[in-house]
A = this chain, B = another copy of it.
């Protein structure tokens, strides 16, 4: 990720979960592209961060996988689980309240 990398720290999981919740199953490489589009080229997920995170979330039961062979190439689809859905909802709520708090502290008037 670039785009003020410090700020994005801690948001990777939320981003991945939310995109999977909204768009259904997706594979790693695709997630990189999709997030890049959604963020109009400002969020660039790095594979070195993404794959370990996907693995961790799978291990924690937030995602489940499904491997498909495209010719001889493996493609690993990730799908959000019911647990993952619960988690993503609270994460997004947390994020919203975080924005509000920060707007107060940084005295940001309007986000226009």
Q: Is A102 an interface residue (CB 8 A)?
A: yes
Q: Using an 8 Å CB-CB cutoff, how does the interface string of A34-49 with B read, 1 for contact, 0 for none?
A: 0100111011000000
Name the contact of A102 in the complex, choosing from B95, B97, B107 (C-beta under 8 A): B95
B98 and A4 form a contact (CB under 8 A)? yes
- Most B CB contacts (10 A, CB to CB) among A3, A11, A38, A102 go to A102
What are the residues of chain B within 8 A of A99 when measuring CB–CB? 99, 111
Q: Tell me the residues in window 45-71 of chain A with beta carbons closer than 8 Å to chain B beta carbons.
A: none
Q: Is A81 an interface residue (CB 8 A)?
A: no
Inter-chain CA distance A44–B5, complex, in Å, is 22
User: In the complex where A106-B14, A106-B15 touch, is A3 in contact with B111 (Cβ < 8 A)?
Assistant: no
